[in-house]
């Protein structure tokens, strides 16, 4: 992306509410839904973001997910909100690998026209996760 900026920081899981949708707790594959709140610091500053995930467990410990997150706060000092679409997978050791992209035309306030993508890797048991986000503003 021309004029691309890169910012980094961390986020913490403030709340994680997960429920199995079907076919059952011990069945594989099984579908689950999670509602999550995150708090971001660094280039993205936002508290209590709203995030919804659909999760497919292939085994008791492995699977993939897709989700949407609404982030309201600041990006490198600019105030507004934007949504990101997230996709990822998790392995036997509990490590989560995720990429995310700004939902087209979702930026508001000083973040109108925001485009970008990023990623994170969350290791099992760690409460704080580092992220990287590349973006540009029109």
pLDDT (tens digit per residue) in 63-88: 999 999 999 999 999 999 999 999 99
The alpha carbon dihedral of 62, 126, 98, 86 has a sign of positive
% helix, strand, coil for the chain, step of 5: 0, 70, 30
> Do residues 7 and 138 lie in contact, with contact meaning Cβ atoms separated by under 8 Å?
no
pTM summary value: 0.93
90-136, pLDDT tens digit by residue? 999 999 999 999 999 999 999 999 999 999 999 988 889 999 999 99
Residue 138: per-residue pLDDT: 82
Residues 24, 30, 33, CA angle at the centre, nearest 5°?
95
pLDDT at 10 over 70: yes
- Give the integer Cα–Cα distance in Å for 50 and 71: 7
């Amino acid at each position: 992306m021309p004029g691309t900026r890169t910012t980094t920081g961390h986020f913490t899981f403030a709340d994680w509410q997960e429920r199995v949708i079907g076919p059952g707790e011990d069945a594989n594959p099984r579908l689950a839904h999670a509602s999550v709140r995150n708090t971001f610091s660094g280039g993205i500053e936002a508290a209590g973001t709203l995030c919804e995930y659909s999760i497919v467990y292939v085994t008791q410990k492995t699977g993939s997910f897709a989700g949407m997150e609404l982030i309201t706060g600041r990006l490198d000092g600019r105030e507004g909100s934007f949504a990101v679409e997230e996709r990822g997978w998790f392995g036997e050791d509990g490590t989560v690998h995720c990429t995310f992209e700004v939902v087209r035309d979702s930026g508001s306030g000083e973040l109108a026209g925001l485009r970008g993508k990023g990623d994170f890797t969350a290791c099992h048991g760690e409460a704080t996760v580092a992220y990287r986000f590349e973006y540009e503003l029109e």
